[in-house]
Amino acid sequence: MRSHEAEAEPGWDVALPLGGPSLDGVLMAGFRDRAAAGPDLRVLPQPAVTVVLGLGHAPLTVEDAGGRRALRGFVAALSPGPARIRGERVECVEIRLSPRAAYAWLGVSPRELDGCVAPLEDPWGRDERLLRERLAATPVWDRRLALVDGFLAERAARAPEMAPEVAAAWDTIVARRGNVRVAEPAASCGWSRKRLWSRFSARTGLTPKRAAMPVRFDRAARALRCW
């Protein structure tokens, strides 16, 4: 896997996999704060589970409902609640996982994240630290992204797949840009509304109704950026 530099905010270097993502449902990028300005970011709802692997010498500071914590890596649910991320001389790999793919790569249901920003060691354990150490020891971005790609591929190979009915319901929500009634995907897959509600929540961490909210929010945010 090769990477290329992407257009970024002033003072930031961004590396993307050349040719796009190789894993379905996964987007990733490398970031380096070249100006050492120190980011101060709000975590917003979006239709993806976000994983951040910090590679710099200093940890990232996460402030949310759980208090203030210094984390080397974290995972944010689709609707993480009010959260703020700060750091100095930040260098990291960010991975965005679609809800239908998140279970395979995290090893746990996004429901277990409890709508928060959680330490990445919670779902990944010792593997998280080992991956970060390998990434920090690899100075070239294309090799770093290839390491992450291989790591995720190994985890996905061992994970159970999402039920086709749940995956289809998520695809319908995305295709309709969040403007969908729960009865529609339930009827299309032959499940009752109650059964879809239960299975969908167990796999994505949100009910179908709540899952549509970050999809609509993301669409609105993208529209505003185009003005």
Strand partners, 25: none
Are 88 and 38 in contact by the 8 Å Cβ rule? The answer is yes
- Per-residue 3-state assignment (H helix, E strand, C coil) for 186-227: HHHHCCCHHHHHHHHHHHHCCCHHHHHHHHHHHHHHHHHHCC
pLDDT in tens, 167-226: 888 888 888 888 888 777 777 778 888 888 888 888 887 788 888 888 887 776 666 554
CATH of domain 3-158: 2.60.120.10
pLDDT in tens, 130-167: 999 999 899 899 999 999 999 998 887 887 777 888 88
Rounded CA gap, 227 and 224, in Å? 5
Rounded CA gap, 88 and 218, in Å? 27
pLDDT band at 1 (very low <50, low <70, confident <90, very high): very low
- Residue boundaries of the structural domains of the chain: 3-158, 164-225
